[in-house]
Amino acid sequence: MTRLTGVMAAMLAAVACGGGAGTDSPAGPRDTLVFAASADATTLDPHNTTDTESDQVIMMMYETLIGFDRDMKIVPRLAERWDVAPDGVTWTFHLRDGIRFHDGTPFNADAVRRNFTRVMDPIANHKRLVLFDMIDRVEAVDDRTVRITTKYPFGAFEPTMAHVSAAIVNPTVAEKFGRDFGLGADRASGTGPYRIVSWKKDQEIVLERNDDYWAEKGKTRRIVYRPIPEAAARVLALEAGDVDVISRIPSADIARLEKEAGIVVTKTPSVGMQQFRFNVTKKPYNDVRVRQAISYAINRRAIVDNLVSSFARPSTGALTPIMRGYANLGEIPYDPDKARALLKAAGYPNGFKTRIATTPRYPMGVELAEALAADLKKVGIEAAIDVIEWGTMVTYWAGLPPEKNPQEIFIMGAGASTADADWGLRPIFRSAPTNENNYGYYSNAEFDRVIEAAMRETDAEKRQQLYRRAQEIVYLEDPGAVWLFDTLYVVASRANVEGVTPSPLGAVTFQQATVH
């Protein structure tokens, strides 16, 4: 169906020129904004979800103690100020006064304590439990003060606390519904600028402005989330004016929408990256020279320009520029001669045969694998492509020991949801016996040492130096992957919509959006 979508998009592009007569009312701002999501939310429980479609609704309804601004800087939210003791493990948060949950329950230190008890409860087993692994205990010092003690000095504590899964839910409602919290309009309650009024599964979620909100109130009275699973239909619905904002736009449609009158396309640098990783336990990828050779054999510029120019920029490091800890190591040059020399040195003067696993779940996933194979062929490597459905793909990445994993080179999208180097590098490249997170079994002793030291470093300067070193290792010296490009988060809206907030985390929110 995704393939068909591409073909359709091209055909529609030919037919749709000159179309798109929107039916927007002329008078005053409208009281409703309609966003076409690509899927329905699965839950509105911030502690128990890992999918973006849920998170972007959650971000409207709940708030964290500290948050990210548009440039991913840490800013105060429910806490007006916070500090860390010289021991590096004792964090104190001073909460704002006079904030209430949507049902009128006051927000206070005890609510915060009960929230962390909830998200860290090993029995309840919420999906975001692992993110808060470093927390030792959470105490309510007084009504307005919370003390969080970590097990060790943790360099990424602030971005973790700004992560959407650290959002404070109404503990009374959460405790009342237990596991069912977040599964319906009547079982979700936060402090955010919007509250939920109805949720018809796969049809629409309706949020309404919280008129008692403590900070700047929402501009539009109602925000409606209408899931449209088919990408081509999502684009058509926007052009027809049936929805005001869409995301997850087929790459072939982006350029066309940019030229269309009445539609505005925004592209936000994001935490998302596309790479092809090596299974370093498989011959010949256990040889660093082979991995370097492949890295030089790929013409990233050409791939980006020809396939994904509408939503991608060539990689310049192992993280994206928007992320905390990013180091600009430059684009890796296209140098097939150097690649051949490295292959020769490694004992493969005539190349070898290999397999590339990919999934159409990633935008242009199959086309990227084909481009990779074409470049590899020029240095003598014959790559066969395995196109794998997503549900099957993730089983290869779910904690298999190397001997049970047949993949050699495989596609991987990365995007640390804390926008920080720790979560962006540590789980996926630190040595591990299985590939539960380190999908390619990457293992480098120096990298492990540096990444461990960086995790416990709270001094920003020193931390940056350590992450720079970590990226030099994994990106250049002992490459764990072929980094192709950083993705831009693309949102398209009708020209009469203002104040939409796309986040580098690949989500879009509407706290200050208006529809004229």
Partner 1 sequence: MPIFVRFVSSWFLLAMTVVARSLARLVSVLFGISILVFLIVHAIPGDPAVIAAGLEASPETVARIRRDLGLDQPLPTQFVRFVTRALTGDLGTSIRTGAPVATEIRERLPHTVILTLGGIGLATLLGMAAGIAASVARRRWVDRAVMALTLVAVSTPSYWLALMGMLVFALQLALVPSIGVGTPLHYVLPIAVLGLQSGGQVARISRAAMMETLHQEYVRAAEARGASRWRVIARHALANAMLPVVTLIGLRIGGLLAGTVLVESVFAIPGVGRMMVDAVIARDFPMVQGGVLVVATLIVVVNVLTDLVGAGLDPRVRAA
Closest CA to 503 of 226, 248, 194, 271: 271
C-alpha dist (Å) from residue 512 to 216, 223, 266, 377, 509? 9, 11, 16, 51, 8
- Rounded Cα distance, 495 and 295, in Å: 42
- Report the amino acid identity of residue 41: A
* Nearest approach, Cβ of residue 61 and partner 1 (Å): 18
* Nearest approach, Cβ of residue 509 and partner 1 (Å): 20
- Supply 37's token pair: 């999501």
Q: What is the DSSP letter of 107?
A: P
Helix, strand or coil for residue 368? helix
39 binds partner 1 (CB under 8 A): yes
Helix, strand or coil for residue 342? helix
Cα–chain center distance at 242 = 27
300 binds partner 1 (CB under 8 A): no
Site string for partner 1, 117-146 (x = CB under 8 A): --------x-x-xxx---------------
Considering only residues 67 to 126 of the shown chain, the ones binding partner 1 according to CB under 8 A are: 125
- Rounded Cα distance, 5 and 3, in Å: 5
* Nearest approach, Cβ of residue 365 and partner 1 (Å): 15
- When binding is defined by CB under 8 A, the residue of 305, 436, 446, 459 that contacts partner 1 is 436
Q: What is the DSSP letter of 180?
A: G
- Rounded Cα distance, 507 and 70, in Å: 11
* Nearest approach, Cβ of residue 393 and partner 1 (Å): 9
* Nearest approach, Cβ of residue 277 and partner 1 (Å): 13
Dihedral sign, CA of 147, 149, 154, 156?
negative
8 A C-beta contact, residue 399 and residue 428: no
21 binds partner 1 (CB under 8 A): yes
Please name the helix (run of DSSP H) or strand (run of DSSP E) that holds residue 93, with its range, or none: strand 90-95
Site string for partner 1, 351-390 (x = CB under 8 A): --------------------------------------xx
12 binds partner 1 (CB under 8 A): yes
8 binds partner 1 (CB under 8 A): yes
- Supply 19's token pair: 């179309």
- When binding is defined by CB under 8 A, the residue of 105, 434, 501, 512 that contacts partner 1 is 434
For residues 22 and 314, which CB has a smaller minimum distance to partner 1 in the complex?
22
398 binds partner 1 (CB under 8 A): yes
190 binds partner 1 (CB under 8 A): no
394 binds partner 1 (CB under 8 A): yes
Dihedral sign, CA of 391, 432, 472, 339?
negative
229 binds partner 1 (CB under 8 A): yes
DSSP letters for 401-420: -GGG---SEEEEEE--TT-B
269 binds partner 1 (CB under 8 A): no
203 binds partner 1 (CB under 8 A): yes
- When binding is defined by CB under 8 A, the residue of 66, 169, 228, 290 that contacts partner 1 is 228
Q: Rule CB under 8 A: which residues touch partner 1?
A: 1, 4, 8, 12, 15-16, 19-21, 23, 36, 39, 42-43, 49-51, 125, 127, 129-131, 179-180, 183-184, 200-204, 226-230, 232-233, 236-237, 239-240, 242-243, 389-392, 394-395, 397-399, 417, 423, 427, 434, 436-437
